[in-house]
Amino acid sequence: MPNLQDIFVRFFEDYCQTHNPSYDQYKVMNALMACRTSKLGGHHNVCTNCGETSIAYNSCRNRHCPLCQSFKREKWRVDRNSELLNVHYFHVVFTVPEELNPIFFANQAFVVYTKENFDSPTHVVNYLWQYTHRVAISNHRILKVTDDHVTFRYKDNKDSGKTKQMTLTGTEFIRRFLMHVLPSGFVKIRHYGILAARNRPTKLAHCQRIMKIIPSKKSSDYTALEFLVKFMRLDFSRCSKCPLEPSNCDTVMQEATPHIGAG
């Protein structure tokens, strides 16, 4: 199936010839094209039992890359669950009325309203978890990439949420995607009060003690492999051909380049 990386590889040069991307946009495009390829280097995994060798390319870790969000999203969910208190939570939504889209596009601020509280604190996290690390378009929505066009699936909220298809030129698709690129240093998720980073070890912990809450483990309490196995059902320590664990070769593959940033 075609993916976002295929689109940027195919239409990157065409887009740059007809548009003037910003530094942040250019950085994102390069990150997505290099993700999990030899451009970022990688490692060889060698099974000590059967000799099977597999290549693990490094990821770009850019927050606009659909391939790099699953791990971050799951870590965010686990960490937020470890901070929950047995109290009511409310969902405050920042949105823009459709009629004001042109104005808000030029002056990007927020409109606020509050929805009903959720049934439980866990529901709050499980709801937000779906959106915290979402990118402009996921790979499973991309249906077809030709020499000139991209066809993808979308939900039309103006027509009762029906699923439809849209075809755009490759350069127009990239232009629309890059409208969602956040500037470097922009903080998408902020925490305040007892949930602020400086207050978690003191004020949040104090609240948990008063309420006799035993917090669940944070993501940092696990090794990367333990976390992948427990929460994502992925075990990269296992050989694909036999059940024994492979040993990792320390030799980094050639053509590795410096990390190109989380974007």
**pLDDT tens column, 225-245:** 899 889 998 887 777 787 666
Selection from 130-134, 147-151, 186-190 with the highest mean pLDDT: 147-151
Whole-model pTM: value is 0.80
pLDDT(100) > 70: yes
Q: Cβ of 188: how many Cβ atoms within 10 Å?
A: 8
Taking each helix axis from N to C end, the angle separating 170-178 and 23-34, rounded to the nearest 10 degrees, works out to 120
If you average pLDDT over every residue of the chain, what do you get?
86
pLDDT(257) > 60: no
pLDDT(105) > 50: yes
CA-to-CA distance for 152 and 144, rounded, in angstroms? Answer: 7
pLDDT(255) > 70: no
pLDDT mean over 108-116: 58
CA-to-CA distance for 66 and 74, rounded, in angstroms? Answer: 14
DSSP letter (8 states) at residue 239: -
pLDDT mean over 84-89: 86
pLDDT(209) > 70: yes
Place of tokens 């890359």: 65
User: Which helix or strand (DSSP H or E) is residue 150 part of?
Assistant: strand 149-156
